[in-house]
Amino acid sequence: MKKIWILFSLVLGVSLAGYPQVLGLRDYRQRVMNYNQDIKQSRAAAEVALYALKSVKTGFFPRLDLSGSYSYQFENVEFMEGVRLKHDNYNAEADLVQSVYAGGAVRKQYEMARVQQAIAVLGEKHTLVNMLYAADVNYWTAVANRDLYTIASRFVEIVGELYDVVDKRFREGAISRTDVLMVEARLKEAELQLNASRTNYKTALQALNIMMGEAVEAEPVLRDSIRSGVLLPSVSELAVALDNRADYQTSIRDVELARLETRLVKSNYLPQVVLGIKENWGTLLLNVDGERRFTTLAFANLSIPVFHWGERRQSVRASILQEDMRELDRSKLADQVSLELSTAWTTVSDLLKKTEIVNSSLEIAQDNLFLNTFSYNEGKLPIIDVLSAQVTWLQAYTSVVSVHYQFKVAVAEYYRAVGGE
């Protein structure tokens, strides 16, 4: 008994360590978020921007630098008659420097770094929304292909059952061989379609596995049917979408960044003042006595730009044009978001109505197939009517999968258009 329990535990451990037995949309989304390289890169970019902001902030504070040197003169050098320079020369120096005024450049650089950090965070959100959309499409593609494979399998069974009936009636002499050949040809077509459906389903599973970092050959059990319900979106106002869309919010900050860049360029017109103090300990440059001394030097540097042949003026003009271009980009994106939002909602509404139509058509096709098959078995209908009813059933079921799949993708697209759920 103990050996059986150990074996069961090992099998269970392998199962838990490998692919989950059942995979739903929420599970798949989480796995994609944990694995996706683009999401990890955007998250790292946001961290880099945060460190850059902290680095720029240090420009407000004084800087302290330490340096030292040592040299040895091998030759005897006579400085003047009877006085020779010492062989050893060394010193240590400490510099403390504070930028007092730089035309506001340090403040502008800090504000630009803050905006760039906000853009990086928005970039992470934008990547996440796009990846979740791709994950939804990937998942529903696999579900749709699984359902199409199931339908193709059922269609082979339906045609196979008819073939058994036709073959029996032919051997009894009740019908001609023509009926048998017609059903046999339909059965071969159904088997070919089943093989194609199996290939499509396998390919969809491979794409599903790769996106979440699982082994390509893994075969998850997908929890949902393509006809499963989804959270229907509500109509979103354009202002709400613009406020929620990471790409549009990025365009706003791009405009802000361009304005800060213009102000930074203009700061080059202004004077710059630097104060500092320098402490030196060591021998003199002409070391004649070997004494080590402390020397202290306080200094102030003033730099005033006077004439650069219009260089700064041209730079300001170019920067202002950049502002205008980024404002145009923002305006264009607002129009694009408006169009995407309207189109996505129209598509969702249209496909929601189509789902009701194809569901109803499938019920009719199922009833028609049942009645035609029953009537043929009773000898009241020719075989061609049954075969036609089978095709109608297959087309109706395929349309159900196709329309429901389109509806699921349209809902995912709408959520992406509004900037995420």
Which tokens sit at 386? 């049954």
Pair of tokens at residue 133: 């959309």
The C-alpha atoms of residue 74 and residue 236 are separated, in whole angstroms, by 84
pLDDT digits (tens, 9 = 90+) for 118-144: 999 999 999 999 999 999 999 999 999
Evaluate whether 93 touches 67 at the Cβ level (below 8 Å): yes
Q: What is the pLDDT of residue 386?
A: 94
User: Could you give the domains of the chain?
Assistant: 19-60+119-268+313-417 (1.20.1600.10), 62-101+271-304 (2.20.200)
pLDDT at 284: 54
| Cα separation, 115 vs 122, whole angstroms | 11
Provide the residue count of the chain.
421
Would you state the pLDDT for residue 14? 38
> What's the chain's average pLDDT?
85
Count the helices and strands in the chain (H runs, E runs): 9, 8
Spatial neighbors of 36 by CB under 8 A, at least 6 apart, are 131, 211
Paired strand residues for 279: 94, 296
Element (H, E) at 420: none
Predicted confidence (pLDDT) per residue in 146-194, tens digit: 999 999 999 999 999 999 999 998 998 888 899 999 999 999 999 999 9
DSSP single-letter state for residue 355: H
Give strand pairing partners of 68. 92
Q: What is the pTM of this model?
A: 0.82
pLDDT of residue 324: 92
In terms of pLDDT, which residue wins out, 284 or 64?
64
In terms of phi and psi (left: phi > 0; alpha: psi -120 to 50; beta: otherwise), the region of 356 is: alpha
d(CA 353, CA 376): 35
Residue found under tokens 């989304």: 29
Highest mean pLDDT among 58-62, 289-293, 316-320, 371-375: 371-375
Output the pLDDT for position 56.
82
1 pLDDT band, cuts 50/70/90, is very low
Mean pLDDT of 334-354: 94
